[in-house]
Structure 1
Amino acid sequence: MGCMFSHLAAKFAFFPPSPPTYHLTKNPDGKLSAVSASSSSTFPAAGDSSIDVRVVKTRRGNKVAAFYLRNPNARLTLLYSHGNAADLGQLVDLFVQLKVNLRVNLMGYDYSGYGASTGKPSEYDTYADIEAVYECLQTEYGVGQEDLILYGQSVGSGPTLHLASKLPRLRGVVLHSGILSGLRVLCHVKFKFCCDIYSNVNKIKKVKCPVLVIHGTEDDVVNWLHGNRLWKMAKEPYEPLWIKGGGHCNLEIYPDYIRHLYRFMQDMENTTTKSRLKKIWQEIRRRDESKGCCSFKLCRPKCPSCPKPSCDCGECGCCKCECPSLKGCFSCCKKPSCVGCCCPKFKCCNCFGKPTCPKCSCWKCLKCSESECCRSCCCAGCFSWLCCCGGRKRKELKTRGGDTTVAKSEG
């Protein structure tokens, strides 16, 4: 049964045009050109240096055909992974339009077994294909991941998210009619099979850059719910584009498609690495403040020497401070019952509950040398609670004459 599902999923995923819509030829100068099978036209044309035709070898031994379209005014590069029933010969006109309208450099490639690429298509071959093309962009064109946007259409969302999950500094991702997984398209299941292919539902969680999802509401091949769930599961989702009435292969004809895509490219171009990191840290800080600290939701101590203590205790919820004057104050695993602290080196944030002493409004930290105010309390019951300072169990107050001293008995 598993092999049957895997075979069906592969049939859905890979349907290369047969025969291919183009073939490659070598020019007298040694450069490659692509010749269309329908019109016998050659691209790039003679003297046109804006298109490079390349063949890239993958780690699985296949040779992959790729087109690089150069835009002199571009700052970003788009790496395009096409759908299951197309090859580069059918897409070259679309690539030219995207290059001009979006003001980007564009690299498109054929999967193994598609177009002029050798081998047979498979899930892991497509992973090797996009990795080889990305390496070509790095070595031949000097494109780093900070200036790269990955674009995946339909089954192309599989290799796109595979590479995106491995590039932490990627500029952005576009998912055009993306899939959750191969079997989820065929069977509409909500659980995982071991024989499933393109598990985008898991890889989308590892993508650390903005993700734009484009999907047609009337897509009869990949249901709109696939795109909606991918958008909801993204860590940094960009405003999606739901094209009303759009199908699976006609979204490019809608005016909203190019307008929304252009706005996304502009936002990505204006977003620097520094601003992205600042936004990420703000989100992490906001999330920490909303959830509190550790399992007991303790507020962070406002100590000038350690404003960001690390909560590294997995089970007990301790907050371990590295400040010498506070060392040990938060080393226990119990929740102290106090309201505040009069010690100038430890200003409590009023998150520990009620004091046990009716005459004292402070939590007395006996380990602090400046806690003279802690010695002036006349109520012995003030120190009857279990202190978190150094593991002492009980503090007893003794008064001699007019002076007040505190004697600590070890438990």
Structure 2
Amino acid sequence: MNYSPKFPVKWVKFMVMILSIVSTGIAAGWTDIPRLSPTRGIIMEDPDLLSSAAVSDDLQTCYYPQTLDHFNYQPQSYGTFQQRYVMNFKYWGGANNSAPILAYLGAESPLNVSLTAIGFLNDSAVSFNALLVYIEHRYYGKSIPFGSREEAFKNASTLGYFNSAQAIADYAEIIMHIKSKLRAFYSPVIVVGGSYGGMLASWLRLKYPHVALGALASSAPILYFDKITPSGAYYSVVTKDFREASESCYQTIRNSWSVIDKIASQPNGLSTLSMIFNTCKPLTKSSELKIALKNMYALAAQYNSPPRYPVTVICRGIDGANETQDILSKIFAGVVAYGNLSCYINQQTNESETTEGWRWQTCSEMVIPIGIGNGTMFQPAPFNLTSFIQHCKTIFGVLPRPHWVTSYYGYKTYSPEIW
């Protein structure tokens, strides 16, 4: 049977809206490539927001027996695991009306986070009578191969099935399964994702054009590989955000790093810094403090959205400090404004599955060379590929493939410097 897509005129309007959306995405990190989740800022700034949010009764949780390895015919490749996806039929116009399907592609976090944090999908579903589908990324949440998280993350052999190519094949298979099950052969599919999820959306549309009519890839740094995008572009945007919020705040941050270095070089300097910043445990080196501050600024810029506008919050704290206070006391006032805690900088935290999973992804294929160039409010810190490769080899015993993404998915222009 020929299933040529047929859809109403108002769906064309949605495609036009997608093409008009422009978004800039940034992330934070120093030695590790930063996470790119569209929901991390909500979790970091208000952890109770998501945990207390009621999951709609309209959501139906399903599991699909997903193929372990889509690209190999060895016997072990035919193994399966239960991959979670969730559907919301509340607004769907039905298969008989060729009503559209919006498929949210889960990024590097459990699916339950996205269900309560991504409002764009619900708004669009109302306007276009769309079926909402949320699909969890393999190795996150409840979509764990090999029976348990412990087995799945056991070593590089079990983690070897954990990559973007397998993930988008998962999504394609589930989407086709849903369309077949619902007999929604003429319902156009738009895949949606933010940051890393946006990269997956664009790549799925590229690799599986018969599955998705279009992709909305918000804040997706698909060209931040090799030397296509300048390495320091990310922190230039962070700096721009703070400078636009407050010139004096920007200058204070920019001047603070040398003061930290000066104090750290003095006898008992680390104790002094620990006291100034009310650290949860004594600093053992000044880089602990500088990395924490840099990550805070970058995270604030990445999620500088209403109603809180965290960049403005930090700058108000810094600018609002007593003028007679020293520069680091002003910086600490910004830290407190960002999150009023009992102690700061080096809190004891348990490594989440998201952190562990993203570390593997960046040490295998997601080698995004984010560094810090000159002319920002930070101290220069170029991305060092040699050190990064050695770091990953130490952790996982495997070497990253920094050119794989551009080889497999392509890139905008050819630059001989890439190779």
Give the TM-score, by structure 2 length.
0.34
Higher Rg of the two aligned structures = 1
User: Which structure ranks higher in relative contact order (CA pairs < 8 Å, sequence separation ≥ 6)?
Assistant: 2
Whose strand fraction is larger, Structure 1's or Structure 2's? 1
